[in-house]
């Protein structure tokens, strides 16, 4: 038998604690961050079509995330 707490117990306790500290708690894809959504929508099609060049895209990511 494993005495370590299950992940869901730790997650629930952590979320409760963060909520008590005043952090907003939410679940699901509706919490998508717009800049990450833009990044995903820009890069995913290129990745899927095998047209992604990592070094070129790294600069684009830096531009998107650091303005």
Answer whether residue 28 shows pLDDT above 80: no
Instruction: Indicate the DSSP class of residue 21.
Output: T
Picking from 41, 36, 43, the residue whose alpha carbon sits closest to that of residue 60 is 43
Categorize the per-residue pLDDT at 21 as very low, low, confident or very high, splitting at 50, 70 and 90: very high
Q: Cβ(59)–Cβ(39) under 8 Å?
A: no
Could you tell me the residue ranges of all domains in the chain?
7-66
Answer whether residue 11 shows pLDDT above 80: yes
pLDDT in tens, 33-64: 777 778 888 888 877 777 666 667 777 788 88
Task: Quickly list DSSP for 37-56.
Answer: HHHHHHHHHHHHTT---HHH
User: Rounded to whole angstroms, how far apart are CA atoms 39 and 60?
Assistant: 9
Mean pLDDT of all residues in 7-29 = 86
Answer whether residue 29 shows pLDDT above 80: no
């Amino acid at each position: 038998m494993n005495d370590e707490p299950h992940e869901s117990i730790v997650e629930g306790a952590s979320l409760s604690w963060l909520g008590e500290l005043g952090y907003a708690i939410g679940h699901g894809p509706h919490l998508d961050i717009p800049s990450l959504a833009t990044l995903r929508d820009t890069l995913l099609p290129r990745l899927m079509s095998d047209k992604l060049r990592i070094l070129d895209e790294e600069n684009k990511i830096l531009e998107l995330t650091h303005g």
